[in-house]
Amino acid sequence: MKARSLLIIFASLLVIPTWLASCGEDRWAGYAEQTQTDRWIDDTMRVWYYWQEDIPHTNKLNYFSDPITFFNSLLSSQDGKGGTHYSTIDTLEAVTRSIPYTDYSYGFQFTTNHVEDNDTALYAHILYVAQGSPASDAGLERGDWIMQMDGEPITQQNYSRLYGNTSMNLTVGYYDAGNDTILPYAQTYPIAAARTIDDNPVHYRNVYVRNGKRIGYLVYNHFSSGNTVDGETEYDEDLREAFQYFASSQVNEFVLDLRYNNGGQLSCAQLLCSMLAPSSALGQTLGYLEYNSRLNLPPAMFDLEAGIIGNGANLDLTTLYVLTSAQTASASEMLINSLKPYMNVVLIGSTTEGKNVGSISFTNEELRVRMQPIVCKLYNTLGESDYENGFIPDITMDENSAPARFLPFGNENELLLHTALGIIDGTWQPSTPEEESFSTILSNSVARQASPAVRIDR
């Protein structure tokens, strides 16, 4: 069964109660409206939720609670990690205000860090900058350190301004290896007010020629087909074009950078896998989805498909090198797991998060609610799905442990890329671990965009 055939199953099984026809003007106010919404949530979850056997009996539920509270009361202890559930719910208004990867922002992702010998102020370390964003226009780059906003220190109380606010002047610094400290540039960096940005996941690409090897390198930051919720696929087309570039460059080795990729759509992962896998694997099963026992469905297969490559190219690879971090999750991990039966997948970096489940979006326009419950578990063609604790890298390496080598994407001296290139061309030698970083990471803005699970397209 192809992934597209899942639409038939979804259409035939999703039942919308007839009593949803009428609803009050204020969809969230009043016991009648809350009860109606809660009943729809309950009906849908008892059919689709992967851990539906863990949903409490109806006599233990409060159908007069607000929808978010009610939804959370249904969720299993197996759903999520660290007190955060993978299943989510929100109003349609909130969903519309927060389209993934086109968010109102300055256009950079960052960590907040406590720097040695500074107990109060924080620094923000830039991970990457979206093209055409206020941050890009201001000249900010990966590896820069934001030290102050409008001359004021960054603190736990005000750092959220960096997610998106009015125009301001940033004090920006660089790492001085000689003194093992951050020093400010002479000039400040004026940045325009936050705006809607286009964070294209096909962030960076290049080809390196080393000892007769032609090595493709792609930084791919989320599995999204387009920059709207209207079914556009410009990101997929950019991905196909990138692989046509790799094919025309006669690439025979490949480094896929998923350090900041915390997931997204199954269809995008299926496309990327189909262009990376050996050509002999095309047409074979890539993996399958396991639903709950109540649905009584056979596993829903998804394949390596030549037909979806379109104007892209299959590179016919036998080995794939993947750069990872703790933010590598969901569809990124699905790609790793699904390609392992067909090729040698070498992981370099930090242990991944461990999300081996998928969600479907259920929307009720009348009630103004959208929820994304976990509905399935993902397996590769060998029936393997044992990465709930993340994938441990073949070569463990923390990019934050070497601030002098936290360099722009594509720089051959950047720590993780340098390691991958050295392994491929035979020049890399294991060495003693890098020294501990002089800073402690407190938060990572990439986590705010995390996909709760692999998104199953309907």
Same domain, 313 and 390: yes
By the 8 A CB rule, do 343 and 317 touch? yes
Assign 188 a pLDDT band (cuts: 50, 70, 90).
very high
Same domain, 228 and 331: yes
Q: Does the pLDDT of residue 228 top 90, yes or no?
A: no
Query: What is the number of domains present in the chain?
Result: 2
Residue 250 lies in a domain: yes
pLDDT for the residue numbered 229: 57
Same domain, 238 and 367: yes
Report how far residue 87's alpha carbon sits from residue 374's, in angstroms, rounded to the nearest whole number.
5
Greater pLDDT, 33 or 356: 356
Given 196, 222, 251, the domain boundary residue is: 196
Same domain, 219 and 332: yes
Q: Does the pLDDT of residue 28 top 50, yes or no?
A: no
pLDDT for the residue numbered 352: 97
Same domain, 222 and 283: yes
Same domain, 130 and 252: no
Which residues span the domain enclosing 113? 104-196
In one-letter notation, the amino acid at residue 168 is: M
Given 142, 174, 196, the domain boundary residue is: 196
Between 143-147, 199-203, 231-235, the lowest mean confidence (pLDDT) is in 231-235
Strands (E), 221-274: 253-257
Same domain, 190 and 211: no
Residue 215 lies in a domain: yes
Same domain, 116 and 206: no
Between 10-19, 79-88, 159-168, 203-212, the lowest mean confidence (pLDDT) is in 10-19
Greater pLDDT, 429 or 420: 420
Residue 27 lies in a domain: no
Given 164, 196, 228, the domain boundary residue is: 196
pLDDT for the residue numbered 230: 58
Q: Does the pLDDT of residue 27 top 50, yes or no?
A: no
Provide the CATH number for the domain around residue 226: 3.90.226.10
Greater pLDDT, 44 or 451: 44
Residue 70 lies in a domain: no
Q: In angstroms, how far is CA 249 from the centroid of its own chain? A: 28
Same domain, 322 and 364: yes
Greater pLDDT, 204 or 433: 204
Same domain, 270 and 398: yes
Both tokens assigned to 142: 């990966």
pLDDT for the residue numbered 5: 47
Residue 59 lies in a domain: no
Q: Does the pLDDT of residue 14 top 80, yes or no?
A: no
Phi and psi at residue 112, to the nearest 5°: -100, 135
Provide the CATH number for the domain around residue 136: 2.30.42.10
Same domain, 338 and 287: yes
Residue 154 lies in a domain: yes
Same domain, 266 and 399: yes
Cβ density class 298-311: b for 16+ within 10 Å, e for less: eebbbbbbeebbee
Assign 375 a pLDDT band (cuts: 50, 70, 90).
very high
> H or E stretch including 43?
helix 31-48
- pLDDT tens-place string over residues 343-358: 999 999 999 999 999 9
- pLDDT tens-place string over residues 101-160: 557 899 999 999 987 766 678 999 999 999 999 999 999 999 999 999 999 999 999 999
